Every structure is written in structure tokens, then in C-alpha cells.
Amino acid sequence: MSSPLSVVPKLRMSKPDWLASPKVFRTEVLAGLVVALALIPEAISFSIIAGVDPAVGLFASFTMAVVISIVGGRKAMISAATGAIALVIAPLNHEYGLGYLIAAVILGGIIQIVLGALGVAKLMRFVPRSVMVGFVNALAILIFMAQVPEMRDVPWAVYPLIAGGLALMIFFPKVTTVIPAPLVSIVILTVITVAAGIAVPNVGDKGDLPSSLPVPGLPDVPFTMDTLTTIAPYALAFALVGLMESLMTAKLVDDITDTHSNKTRESIGQGIANIVTGFFGGMGGCAMIGQTMINVKTSGARTRLSTFLAGVFLMVLVVVFGPVVSTIPMAALVAVMILVSMATFDWHSIQPKTLKRMPVGETTVMVVTVAAVVATHNLAIGVVLGSITAMVIFAKRVAHLAEVSGVVDPDGKQVVYAVTGELFFASSNDLVYQFNYKDDPDDVVIDLTDAHIWDASSVAALDAIETKYAQRGKKVTIVGLNEPSAEMHDKLAGRLTAGH
């Protein structure tokens, strides 16, 4: 007789993907270390932009990376303090102080959770490929531009160090890929500058590193309606910019890794990570494209472990090994970011043969996206303007797809107009002018079998056509409506003008 326990299904715990093999585990650990090193100067720089202490940016990068590695929807993507977020919240900090900034970060996280739950991630399907290409190219340009200040008015030794770092990262993988080339480059350049006593800018010059871990607490603000109305506009802008950058970056990583990610989970995860970050005194953040490219494209990471360890290593490096990390020459990190920018840029998109083959409208959308991002240093603005440009071009293109052809019966008593195409606000504007109101017979039939009514503008255009014929004592009969078109026409026909 079988035991009662034998009928109970056995629970199978799936092994984490980062334990698939020692090679995968090693890749994830080393990738996390490289990203952590690259995060330090970036977090400090963004703290300066926001007008806060460097510890605020470093704590944000730590908590964002650790939390999003657990609750996020895109494996191996790095979230931390970013320049776009710093620009959004800087005015609030300058005018009201750090407490209000932290409160805005927490409220922004709540808004992100709400937007994620409402399905804001589904809007990504409306972002055209040309906007995505422009986003990637603009991102590469911004990453490179961010390195330019580190190469201006610096000792001459910086330039050979950068060149040497690039050479190491290009040629070292030909020897072995066991250790990430960026990590090798950073270590070798640091050893050279310290051993030779070369005086060049280093990480320590960016600001003091924290000596202790962050502790949770509430923002130092009065919990009143005035506070809410003050922080709400900044929190909304924070939430929208953060989600847009994160979802665009997630889509980019999807393409690079040929895998799918849960964008709704990512949206909600960003909100959770920002709430946690706010309670730990961080300045908030979102997905970081540069560090994500280091993690995914340069280091080959593919799991959540690299994201988690990037945050953990970041705190270990600044708290425990702060004096050592401070000696890393900025030239080493600049070289890493330059290589990342070169690898990120879609060089195929600007090749003459590609531009010659690509429709002018697609190229225009890409250029608008790049120009807007580079001009504003805001990826969200570029994506919005690029998408709007794409929609305008698309609307203009399909506006002329509605065609009207009329055939008069041999006896001259009836004319049948066949309308073909999609009827919406752009295409229906010209519809009214394609009928011969004066010379047509008294019986007019408009056949919409090969057309579809999409909006009220099209119904209003049909009303106008009927009115023009009625003014001449002629009758109009509309036939061939499909079910959705008939439903919309029956609901709105004759009711779109004053008095109805």
C-alpha cells in the first residue's frame, strides 16, 4: 500500500541561473566588480549635479542595484543614481533642501508602482524602431560627451593612460576572456600611476567616500498638504523620466541578449527600489545605460547576480577599501566609458548604403531623437519628440491612402462612390472635396466596403457630405459598413454639430 506522502507532489526548487556553471558564476562576479568601480565616480558626479553630498548618490546606487536585482523585470540591467534623475530633482533640493528631495523620491517611487500596475509598460509598443536607434546613438554620444571634461585641462599623462587603457581592453580579450578586460585595465593603470607616482586626477578628487553603511529613516519634512503640493510635480517628472529610461534600456538589453523581459514587473520594481532608496537617504535613480552596457555587452553578464553584486561591491569598495579606490586614476574609468560609447553606437545606422536604403522619414525620426537628446541631455525628451515626429510622418503618409472613385449608372439616375482605405482625422479631411455635389444625380450611394471608420472626424466628414448633397435636394445612402464602423457611425452620425 502506498504511503499517504507518496501522493503529495514533490516541490522542485529550480537552481539559480548564475549557478549554471562555474564560468557563469565567475563572469557574474567579475562583471559586478567592474560595474561597481565604474559606478563610483558616476554616482559622485551625479550627486554634485543634484547639489547633495557624494554619500547620497553612492547610497542610492547601492540600494537601487540591490533592490532592483530582486524585484526588477530585466536580468543583468543596472539601476543606480543617474544624471537625468539628478537634473529633475536638483531644483527642488536647491530651493527646499535634502528632506524634500528624499520625500519626492519616495513619492516618485509610489507613482511608478501605480503607473506600472496600470500598464504603462505597454506604451513601449508605440516606440518605433527609428526612435530606438536614435535613443541608442544619442546615448553613446552622451556617454562620450560625459568623458570630455575628464580630458580637458588635465596633465599630459592622462592621454597616454587613456590610450593604454583602450589598447588593453581591445587586445586583452585576444589573450583570455576569463577576466573582464575593463577590470584588467583599471588594475594595471592604477598600479602604474601609484608605483610611478604619476600625478593625475583620481576617484578621490571627486569627493569624500562614506565610511559607514546607510541607515533607514524618514525624510525630514513636515507631513502636510503644502509639502505634498511642493514635491508632487517633481515626483511626477521623476517617475516618468525614470520609467522611460528604464524601459528603453530594458528593451535595448532584450535586443542585445535576444531574451524577453517583464516590463510591467520592471516598472513596479523601479518604484519599489526608489521607495527603499528614499528611506535610506538616497537620491533615487533608474536604469543606467552606460553601466548596463559594461555589464551586459563588455563583461558578458546575463543574470541578477551581477546587478546585486554591483551594489554590494560598491559599498564594500567605498566603505572598506575607500583609500585604495580613491587612488584609481580617472583615466582608467574614462577609457572604459569611451569603449562603452563606441560599442553602444549603432554604426550600421549611419553607413551610406543604409541611409540610401532607409526611407527619409525613418532617418528624420532618428536624427530628431539624437538631436533632442544631445541638446537637452535628457533621454526622455528625445524619445517623446522622436515618437511624436514618427507619428506625424506616419499620419501624413497614410492621410492620402483613402481613395474615392465614382461610377454613374447608365441611366444616369444613380452614382455609386467606392471609398477605399482607412478613415481617420488625417485622411478624412480631404474626403469632403472628392465628391461632385453639383453634377451628381439625385440618388448617391457611398460604398464603404473597403474602408474603415476609426474616429469621430470621419463620421463628421460623412455628415458634411450628406449635408452638402441635402442642400441640393439629393439623397445619400451609406452602405458596406463593417460592424465596428457601423457601430461608431450609428452612435455619432448627426450628433457632432451644435444643437444635437
Residue 51 Ramachandran class (φ > 0 left, ψ -120 to 50 alpha, else beta): left
- With cell 510635480, the residue in question is 233
Residues 60, 65, 69, 73, CA torsion sign: positive
Among 2-6, 26-30, 449-453, name the one with the lowest average pLDDT: 2-6
Query: Greater confidence, 295 or 48?
Result: 295
CA-based max dimension of the chain: 102
Per residue in 397-414, pLDDT tens?
Answer: 776 667 899 888 888 889
The DSSP bridge pattern shows strands 414-423 and 403-408 to be antiparallel
Per residue in 188-221, pLDDT tens?
Answer: 999 999 999 999 999 888 877 888 888 999 999 9
Report the percentage of the chain scoring pLDDT > 90.
53
What does pLDDT average to over the chain? 88
Query: Greater confidence, 19 or 153?
Result: 153
DSSP string, 309-322: HHHHHHHHHHHTSH
- Could you tell me if 393 and 422 are in contact, meaning their C-beta atoms sit under 8 angstroms apart? no
Residue 48 pLDDT > 80, yes or no?
A: no
Strand order from edge to edge, sheet including 443-453: 403-408, 414-423, 443-453, 475-479
Q: What is the mean pLDDT of residues 239-248?
A: 89
Per residue in 433-443, pLDDT tens?
Answer: 889 999 899 99
Query: Greater confidence, 99 or 245?
Result: 99
pLDDT value of residue 192? 95
Residue 45 pLDDT > 80, yes or no?
A: no
Q: How many whole angstroms from its chain centre is CA 114?
A: 18
Alpha helix (H) ranges present in 295-348?
304-319, 322-325, 330-344
- Tell me which residue of 50, 47, 69, 119 sits closest to 272, measured CA to CA: 69
Residue 497 pLDDT > 70, yes or no?
A: no
User: CB 88: neighbour CB atoms within 10 A?
Assistant: 25
pLDDT value of residue 1? 47
Q: CA–CA distance from 100 to each of 28, 45, 97, 237 (Å)? A: 37, 21, 6, 15
Which of 40-44, 137-141, 309-313, 423-427 has the largest mean confidence? 309-313
Per residue in 264-305, pLDDT tens?
Answer: 999 999 999 999 999 999 999 999 988 898 899 888 999 999
pLDDT value of residue 369? 92
Per residue in 8-17, pLDDT tens?
Answer: 444 455 677 8
SS in 3 state form for 367-391? Answer: HHHHHHHHHHCCHHHHHHHHHHHHH
